[in-house]
């Protein structure tokens, strides 16, 4: 498999865009963005991850510039979720986990012993695959729960509540029932509630681990709109299995793959490039749906 | 930004996994230092003030250690982290306080009981000896036989009944679920002597007119069923409904689904239910004394004749009062503890075996 890839690699780089790819590339709203915005943002340097002795992820170096949306794509089991969890130190929650490498936020390694891990997670928020509103709290309490958990003070709770729900695209639907329980919302609404909850502590970076995989197309569309609106003010990293989604919402795309060994980052490029002119044969096979 | 393609590297042997979130050697040394310093400081405080005794020392140590640790975290990461460390230390102290009386009991039972152990102890009975006799005559073999017979016969009755009751409550959910659940809960509070008296007046007086360990087992069954049924119900309730739906959607009848999917999934929890049941009855004395009568002779027949048991042996030996008799009682306690632990270990082993082996 790999010898075949190497053999055809040069051919790929010189070939013109296949017509099947141009339609996906055209679907990308954000094809114009090719330059790196200012700010250092988040940066992974040679990150490895292990579960026990199992080497799950090897040598991933990625730059997430401020104000960009980066999509991580790749087949199941290639280490995307593991990687995203190393970015806000959720990885260490698993008892046998280990890692190597550095994750820099604004130039400072978040794994440095002098760093308070809870503050890191305040700055780098996370939205999970399954919507997980806190069952004992109302909608309003859910949004503000991060402030309570981290014991942060805010001058105007109502204002913050409205702002976060607005940004998450949920305000119009829930403004009359903020005292209802989070569980009374639909799946898509619950996920937007979880996004609003992450926004309330004002993170610099938002990590999203397949946030739409449990949702219907309508809710998915709403969340994608939310991501586009948020991307002006924060850095977003989104894991997705849906390549159209990656094309629609992201500025950059990174392709991960595991060929039996640890998962590795194969290729990272502006999203339009990845879908129109992938440089690696494996990336091309994946984005055109030939495997995975 | 130019695209980058990862170089083809497949060998990462030079990279070694680390756990930067764990306490470093330096952190551990500091914590040990704080621990030892707190011990020394509490010793000083005890000497210099009116406080005294082990309890005073422990309380002083706990407050000193907690304060120093929390202060350290306050200067590292701020007040939230200090509170976190405070609660952490208190939780650990709580766990420690739980361990203290248990290990103290274990220590006392083992150190006092071990004196009365000699090899023939397990093969002899007390039919020719009094509890006050020297420690190298007589034995408690008859009590072990009695306890094992009482518990195992009670298990044979109560485990099926208890688990079937739990299955009725969680799987069938018939119209009697509510009253049965209520009765089972109420029954778990019944004093053991009431169960004993019930069998005494319902079976011993009108029918058998004689002591037997079977009757003792029946009263223990009454005590054990509620424990098994309630715990098993909790465990079965934890099995996700998706599994039941998946089984039924594959064309299984309810019985096949429960037997093939629900019960195996709940297996280790059901074993725990049985262990808790055994723990409830293994040390029962009153109903056993009333119904099995208690005896000093080997009796292998559960259906007739008085039967000794370890709790009875302990009770009788303590009552005799001489130093030898008291040592016998401690030895009985020791053996009872070993038997209960052995039963737990066997049950755990059975429960942890992989499904399908």
Which chain B residues are within 8 Å of A50, Cβ to Cβ?
17
- Flag if B4 and A268 touch (Cβ within 8 Å): yes
**Number of CB pairs, chain A paired with chain B, less than 8 A apart:** 74
Do B276 and B227 touch, CB atoms closer than 8 A?
Answer: yes
pLDDT at residue A2 is higher than 50: no
Mean of the pLDDT values across residues A37-52? Answer: 81
Q: Residue B355 and residue B357: Cα distance in Å, rounded?
A: 6
- Flag if B19 and A265 touch (Cβ within 8 Å): no
B236: nearest Cα among B271, B265, B279: B265
The per-residue pLDDT for range B147-185, each reduced to its tens digit, is 989 999 999 999 999 999 999 999 988 889 999 999 999
**pLDDT given for residue B158 in this prediction:** 95
Mean of the pLDDT values across residues A17-35? Answer: 42
Give the whole-number percent of chain A exceeding pLDDT 90: 54
Which residues, numbered 57 to 86 in chain B, qualify as contacts with chain A under a Cβ-Cβ cut-off of 8 Å?
76-78, 80-81
Mean of the pLDDT values across residues A44-57? Answer: 92
Number of H helices, E strands in chain B: 14, 1
**pLDDT given for residue B168 in this prediction:** 94
**pLDDT given for residue B47 in this prediction:** 84
Mean pLDDT (chain B, rounded): 87
Domains defined for chain B, CATH in brackets: 24-113 (no CATH), 141-352 (1.10.3720.10)
Cα B232 from chain centroid?
16
**pLDDT given for residue A89 in this prediction:** 92
Do B142 and B122 touch, CB atoms closer than 8 A?
Answer: no
**pLDDT given for residue B7 in this prediction:** 55
Determine phi and psi for B165, rounding to 5 degrees.
-60, -45
Range with the poorest average pLDDT among A66-80, A97-111, B6-20: B6-20
Q: Residue A232 and residue A229: Cα distance in Å, rounded?
A: 6
DSSP sequence for B236-251: HHHS-HHHHHHHHHTT
Which chain B residues are within 8 Å of A2, Cβ to Cβ?
8
Structure tokens given for B138: 């007589």
Answer with the residue of higher pLDDT: B283 or B34: B34
Q: Containing H/E element for A254?
A: strand A252-257
Which chain B residues are within 8 Å of A270, Cβ to Cβ?
1, 3
Predicted TM-score (pTM) of this structure: 0.74
Long-range contacts of range B10-16, CB-CB < 8 Å, 24 or more positions apart? B10/A261, B12/A48, B12/A55, B12/A58, B12/A59, B12/A262, B15/A46, B15/A48, B15/A58, B15/A59, B15/A100, B16/A100
**pLDDT given for residue B293 in this prediction:** 82
Q: Residue A56 and residue A258: Cα distance in Å, rounded?
A: 9
* Closest Cβ opposite residue A264 in set B6, B18, B80: B6
Chain A residue whose CA is closest to B24: A113
**With bands split at pLDDT 50, 70 and 90, how would you rate the model's confidence at B6?**
low
**With bands split at pLDDT 50, 70 and 90, how would you rate the model's confidence at B110?**
very high
pLDDT at residue A47 is higher than 90: yes
**pLDDT given for residue B189 in this prediction:** 86
Quick check: ipTM above 0.85? no
Mean of the pLDDT values across residues B206-230? Answer: 91
pLDDT at residue A234 is higher than 80: yes
Do B151 and B144 touch, CB atoms closer than 8 A?
Answer: no
Mean of the pLDDT values across residues B277-302? Answer: 85
Touching check for A92 and chain B: CB below 8 Å? yes
pLDDT at residue A174 is higher than 50: yes
Do A210 and A129 touch, CB atoms closer than 8 A?
Answer: yes
What is the DSSP code (8-state) at residue A68? -
Mean of the pLDDT values across residues A62-71? Answer: 91
Strand pairing category for A97-105 and A108-109:
antiparallel
> SS3 of A154, please?
coil
Do B304 and B216 touch, CB atoms closer than 8 A?
Answer: no
**With bands split at pLDDT 50, 70 and 90, how would you rate the model's confidence at A259?**
confident
**pLDDT given for residue A252 in this prediction:** 94
Do B122 and B140 touch, CB atoms closer than 8 A?
Answer: yes
Which chain A residues are within 8 Å of B10, Cβ to Cβ?
261
Mean of the pLDDT values across residues B63-87? Answer: 89
pLDDT at residue B313 is higher than 80: yes
**pLDDT given for residue A261 in this prediction:** 86
What is the DSSP code (8-state) at residue A181? B
**With bands split at pLDDT 50, 70 and 90, how would you rate the model's confidence at A29?**
very low
Q: Residue A173 and residue B107: Cα distance in Å, rounded?
A: 64
Mean of the pLDDT values across residues B289-315? Answer: 85
Do B305 and B295 touch, CB atoms closer than 8 A?
Answer: yes
Structure tokens given for A79: 């280490």
Mean pLDDT (chain A, rounded): 84
Residues written for chain A: 292
Query: Which residues, 6+ apart, have CB-to-CB distance to A220 below 8 Å?
Result: A188, A212, A242, A245
- Flag if B81 and A118 touch (Cβ within 8 Å): yes
Chain A residue whose CA is closest to B20: A111
Q: Residue B161 and residue A63: Cα distance in Å, rounded?
A: 63
Q: Residue A26 and residue A216: Cα distance in Å, rounded?
A: 23
A62 pairs with which residues across the strands? A44
pLDDT at residue A138 is higher than 90: yes
Q: Residue B224 and residue B245: Cα distance in Å, rounded?
A: 32
Structure tokens given for A123: 């700055």
**Cα angle: B312, vertex B313, B318; to 5 degrees:** 100
Do B162 and B232 touch, CB atoms closer than 8 A?
Answer: yes
Q: Residue A109 and residue B59: Cα distance in Å, rounded?
A: 40
Answer with the residue of higher pLDDT: B53 or A268: A268
Which chain A residues are within 8 Å of B16, Cβ to Cβ?
100
- Flag if A269 and B77 touch (Cβ within 8 Å): no
SS3 content of chain A, % helix, strand, coil (to 5): 40, 25, 35
**With bands split at pLDDT 50, 70 and 90, how would you rate the model's confidence at A3?**
very low
| Helix orientation angle between B141-167 and B267-281, rounded to the nearest 10 degrees | 130
pLDDT at residue A23 is higher than 60: no
> SS3 of B191, please?
coil
Mean of the pLDDT values across residues B335-341? Answer: 89
- Flag if B17 and A113 touch (Cβ within 8 Å): no
Do B124 and B139 touch, CB atoms closer than 8 A?
Answer: yes
Do B116 and B331 touch, CB atoms closer than 8 A?
Answer: yes
B159: nearest Cα among B289, B291, B276, B238: B276
Interior/surface letters A164-185, b for 16+ CB within 10 angstroms, e for the rest: bbebbbbbebbeeebeebbeeb
**pLDDT given for residue B354 in this prediction:** 55
pLDDT at residue A271 is higher than 90: yes
pLDDT at residue A19 is higher than 70: no
Q: Residue B125 and residue A292: Cα distance in Å, rounded?
A: 73
pLDDT at residue B277 is higher than 50: yes
Answer with the residue of higher pLDDT: B2 or B281: B281
**With bands split at pLDDT 50, 70 and 90, how would you rate the model's confidence at A15?**
very low
Answer with the residue of higher pLDDT: A1 or B106: B106
> SS3 of B307, please?
strand
Q: Where are the alpha helices (DSSP H) in A186-280?
A: 187-199, 217-230, 243-249, 271-276
Largest CA-CA distance found in chain B, in angstroms, rounded: 97
Strand pairing category for A252-257 and A69-73:
parallel
Query: Which residues, 6+ apart, have CB-to-CB distance to A158 below 8 Å?
Result: none
**pLDDT given for residue A4 in this prediction:** 42
Determine phi and psi for B120, rounding to 5 degrees.
-75, -10
């Amino acid at each position: 498999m790999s010898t075949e890839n190497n053999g055809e690699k040069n051919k790929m780089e010189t070939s013109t865009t296949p017509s099947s790819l141009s339609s996906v590339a055209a679907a990308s709203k954000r094809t114009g963005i090719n330059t790196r915005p200012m700010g250092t943002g988040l940066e992974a340097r040679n990150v490895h991850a292990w579960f026990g002795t199992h080497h799950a992820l090897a040598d991933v170096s990625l730059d997430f510039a401020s104000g960009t949306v980066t999509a991580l794509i790749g087949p199941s089991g290639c280490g995307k979720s593991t990687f995203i969890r190393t970015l806000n130190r959720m990885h260490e929650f698993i008892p046998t986990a280990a890692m190597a490498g550095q994750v820099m936020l604004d130039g400072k390694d978040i794994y440095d012993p002098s760093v308070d891990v809870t503050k890191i997670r305040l700055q780098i928020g996370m939205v999970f695959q399954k919507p997980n509103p806190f069952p004992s709290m109302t909608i309003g309490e859910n949004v503000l729960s991060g402030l309570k958990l981290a014991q942060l003070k805010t001058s105007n709770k109502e204002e913050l509540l409205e702002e976060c729900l607005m940004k998450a695209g949920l305000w119009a639907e829930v403004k009359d029932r903020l005292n209802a329980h989070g569980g009374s919302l639909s799946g898509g609404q619950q996920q937007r509630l979880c996004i609003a909850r992450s926004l309330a502590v004002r993170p610099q970076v938002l990590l999203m681990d397949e946030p739409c995989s449990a949702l219907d197309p309508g809710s998915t569309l709403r969340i994608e709109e939310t991501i586009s609106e948020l991307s002006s003010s924060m850095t977003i990293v989104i894991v997705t299995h849906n390549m159209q989604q990656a094309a629609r919402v992201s500025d950059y795309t990174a392709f991960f793959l595991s060929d039996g060994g640890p998962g590795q980052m194969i290729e990272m490029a502006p999203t339009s490039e990845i879908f129109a002119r992938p440089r690696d044969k494996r990336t091309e096979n994946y984005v055109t749906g030939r495997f995975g | 930004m130019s695209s980058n393609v990862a170089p083809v590297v497949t060998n990462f042997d030079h990279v070694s996994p680390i756990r930067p979130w764990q306490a470093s050697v330096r952190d551990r040394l500091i914590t040990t230092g704080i621990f030892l310093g707190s011990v020394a400081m509490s010793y000083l405080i005890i000497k210099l003030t009116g406080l005294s005794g082990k309890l005073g020392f422990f309380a002083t140590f706990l407050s000193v250690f907690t304060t120093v640790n929390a202060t350290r975290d306050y200067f590292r990461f701020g007040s939230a982290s200090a509170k976190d460390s405070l609660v952490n230390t208190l939780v650990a102290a709580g766990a420690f306080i739980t361990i203290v009386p248990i290990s103290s009991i274990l220590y006392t039972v083992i150190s006092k009981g071990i004196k009365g152990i000699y090899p023939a102890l397990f093969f002899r009975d007390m039919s020719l000896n009094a509890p006050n006799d020297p420690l190298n005559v007589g034995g408690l073999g008859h009590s072990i036989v009695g306890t094992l017979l009482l518990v195992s016969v009670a298990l044979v009755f109560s485990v099926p009944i208890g688990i079937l009751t739990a299955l009725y409550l969680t799987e069938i959910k018939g119209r009697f679920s509510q009253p049965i659940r209520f009765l089972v809960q109420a029954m778990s509070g019944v004093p053991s002597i009431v169960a004993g008296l019930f069998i005494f007046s319902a079976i011993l007086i009108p029918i058998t007119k004689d002591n037997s360990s079977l009757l003792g087992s029946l009263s223990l069954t009454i005590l054990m069923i509620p424990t098994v049924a309630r715990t098993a119900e909790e465990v079965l309730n934890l099995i996700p409904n998706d599994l039941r739906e998946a089984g039924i959607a594959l064309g299984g009848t309810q019985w096949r689904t429960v037997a093939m999917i629900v019960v195996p999934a709940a297996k280790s929890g059901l074993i725990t239910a049985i262990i808790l049941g055994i723990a409830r009855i293994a040390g029962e004395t009153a109903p056993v004394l009333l119904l099995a009568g208690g005896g000093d002779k080997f009796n292998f027949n559960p259906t007739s004749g008085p039967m000794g048991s370890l709790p009875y042996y302990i009770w009788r030996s303590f009552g005799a009062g001489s130093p030898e008799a008291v040592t016998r009682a401690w030895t009985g306690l020791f053996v009872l503890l070993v038997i209960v632990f052995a039963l737990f270990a066997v049950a755990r082993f059975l429960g942890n075996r992989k499904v399908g082996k």
